[in-house]
């Protein structure tokens, strides 16, 4: 299984990490309830020469805002977020573990706006064998598609790269 080797970060949602002696919390751009967006912290100001991210995690103040995926690459930790409740703000904590054994944390706030629940999205699936059930979850970012339909294996799981 290979997990999404590359993706393009939105430059509007990348923030640089500050040293802990500086006060303040990063304020991310607002998202709408139905949006599925990436939010990134660049930890390069805190890293030594040659140090890179080996693991990243993100915590949210509420389960209403879903953290779909988290990626750590080079000097970045990126979280893909969805959902949330309209007119609410969520506290996020980005945690980065580095190749030199350091652990860095950075806090941020993302506000959610919208007009209610996200519109349900219908996903198309394709299988060459009978499957017992269709997945109920959103397909992952690295799911295989053919003719705009996600591919299923014989057990009914979405196939990934």
Domains of the chain: 11-113 (2.60.40.10), 121-161 (no CATH)
- What is the percentage of the chain residues whose pLDDT exceeds 70? 77
For residues 47 and 72, what is the distance between their CA atoms, to the nearest angstrom? 14
Q: Look up the pTM and report it.
A: 0.61
Each residue's pLDDT tens digit, 57-69: 999 998 889 999 8
Judged by DSSP in three states, 146 sits in strand
**Beta strands in 74-123, from DSSP E residues, in sequence order:** 76-83, 88-98, 103-113
Q: What is the SS3 assignment for 44?
A: helix
Which tokens in the block code for residue 42?
Answer: 């660049």
pLDDT at 2 over 50: no
Indicate the helix (H) or strand (E) that contains 27: strand 26-27
Q: pLDDT tens across 47-100, in order?
A: 889 888 899 999 999 888 999 989 888 888 999 999 888 889 999 999 999 999
């Amino acid at each position: 299984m290979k997990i999404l080797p590359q993706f393009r970060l939105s430059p509007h949602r990348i923030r640089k990490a500050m040293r802990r002696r500086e006060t303040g919390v990063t304020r991310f751009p607002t998202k709408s309830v139905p949006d599925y967006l990436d939010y990134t912290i660049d930890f390069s100001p805190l890293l030594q020469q040659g140090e890179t991210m080996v693991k990243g995690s993100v915590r949210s103040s509420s389960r209403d805002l879903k953290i779909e995926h988290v990626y750590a690459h080079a000097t970045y930790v990126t979280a893909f977020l969805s959902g949330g409740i309209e007119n609410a703000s969520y506290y996020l904590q980005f945690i980065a573990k580095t190749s030199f054994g350091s652990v860095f944390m950075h806090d941020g706030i993302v506000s959610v706006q919208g007009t209610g629940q996200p519109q349900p999205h219908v996903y198309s699936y394709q299988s060459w064998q009978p499957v017992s059930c269709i997945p109920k979850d959103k397909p992952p970012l690295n799911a295989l598609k053919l003719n705009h339909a996600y591919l299923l294996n014989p057990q009914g799981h979405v196939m990934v790269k």
